[in-house]
Amino acid sequence: MLAIIDRIYFLIRNGKRLELKLASYQGFKKNIIEWKRQTRLPWSIIFKMLDEFEVYTSPKIRDIIRQVVTDHESIFSRENCFITGFGNTGKSGDIILYEFSHTTNINQTKVKKTWQLNSLPSGSTIIFVEDIIGTGNQSVEYIQDRLNQVLNPSHQPFLLSLCATRQGIENLTNNTHFQVLPGVILEEIHQYYSTNSLLFSSQEKEKILEINGKLKRPGAFDFDLGLLLAFYFTIPNNAMPIFWKDNYRYLDANGQESTWNALLPRQY
């Protein structure tokens, strides 16, 4: 009976429009109703989440890149300015680098691989590109552990990030010699657990935090900021785990061990 009610309500609320939006994500599992039942959250919360959720498509990403380049033209027009991906090879930084290369009119000789950085001219400006700065901890760790080994002290490094929180930017600028070129600033209103975010009531936030909390190991570092966004190629670990933590073993409401089936499984 509940299954029928769910289907009827989903149909009345035109849930297909949400499926169409989420289909922009590579790997979207087209079963919102089953996912909803798993969360044990009411439809009122589910529709708020899904209405607010945004998938950054390739056109949107390219629009952001164009705007950042326009806003910081004096940096990008420097003679010895080079562009490279941020993070490990084959991950999100390389995908954003691909989008960057097909958005701007930059000379392709200016696009470099990480291993080429230490051979660049003294005083070069190096702009790394990435999808998101959340807490900033992972970015700081990568810079300190990897990039500081290959960058010349005379190089001027920047990190172009499609999205960034203010706390992440502050973490990065305070703990590294990088400057940040952000696209979209994710304010506290976009961090939906925050008391400054008014999308959900305090009672709704308690329910959301409870179910997301079941998908986290005690004592593990928590990158979850309660974001409701994904990029077409992956979803950041700063987003709510209920969306991306596929095949995670957890204890359900009855205390039974179950396997979580994510709506937008994280690619990497």
Q: In this predicted model, what pLDDT tens digit does every residue of 107-162 receive, in sequence order? A: 888 999 888 888 899 999 999 999 999 999 999 999 999 999 889 999 999 999 99
Judgement on whether residues 178 and 201 belong to the same structural domain of the protein: no
Share above pLDDT 90 across residues of the chain, in percent, rounded to a whole number: 80
Structure tokens at 113: 């691989």
Q: What is the pLDDT of residue 1?
A: 62
Distances (CA, A) of 116 to 85, 151, 158: 12, 10, 16
Judgement on whether residues 94 and 147 belong to the same structural domain of the protein: yes
Amino acid at 262: A
| Structural domain count of the chain | 2
Residue 86 · residue 129 · CB < 8 Å: yes
Domain closes at, from 186, 207, 225: 186
Tell me if 253 is assigned to some domain.
Answer: yes
Mean pLDDT, range 210-237, rounded to an integer: 93
Q: Which domain holds residue 197?
A: 2-51+188-260
Judgement on whether residues 148 and 206 belong to the same structural domain of the protein: no
Q: 0.85 exceeded by the pTM?
A: yes
Q: What is the pLDDT of residue 115?
A: 85
Domain closes at, from 186, 210, 226: 186
Contacts of 105 (CB under 8 A, 6+ apart): none
pLDDT tens column, 41-55? 999 999 999 999 999
Q: What is the pLDDT of residue 243?
A: 98
Mean pLDDT of the chain: 94
Judgement on whether residues 76 and 130 belong to the same structural domain of the protein: yes
Q: What is the pLDDT of residue 263?
A: 97
Integer Cα distance of 196 and 74 in angstroms: 35
Tell me if 62 is assigned to some domain.
Answer: no
Tokens 């990039």 appear where?
147
Structure tokens at 220: 């593990």
Judgement on whether residues 106 and 182 belong to the same structural domain of the protein: yes
> How far does CA 192 lie from the centroid of its chain?
14
pLDDT tens column, 195-205? 999 999 999 99
> Three-state SS for 14?
coil
Q: How many CB atoms lie within 10 A of CB 169?
A: 20
Residue 260 · residue 240 · CB < 8 Å: no
**β-pairing, 257-260 with 248-251?**
antiparallel
- Is pLDDT above 70 for 268? no
Judgement on whether residues 99 and 182 belong to the same structural domain of the protein: yes
Integer Cα distance of 136 and 169 in angstroms: 7
Share above pLDDT 70 across residues of the chain, in percent, rounded to a whole number: 99
Domain closes at, from 134, 163, 186: 186
Q: How many CB atoms lie within 10 A of CB 148?
A: 13
Residues in the chain: 268
> Three-state SS for 181?
strand
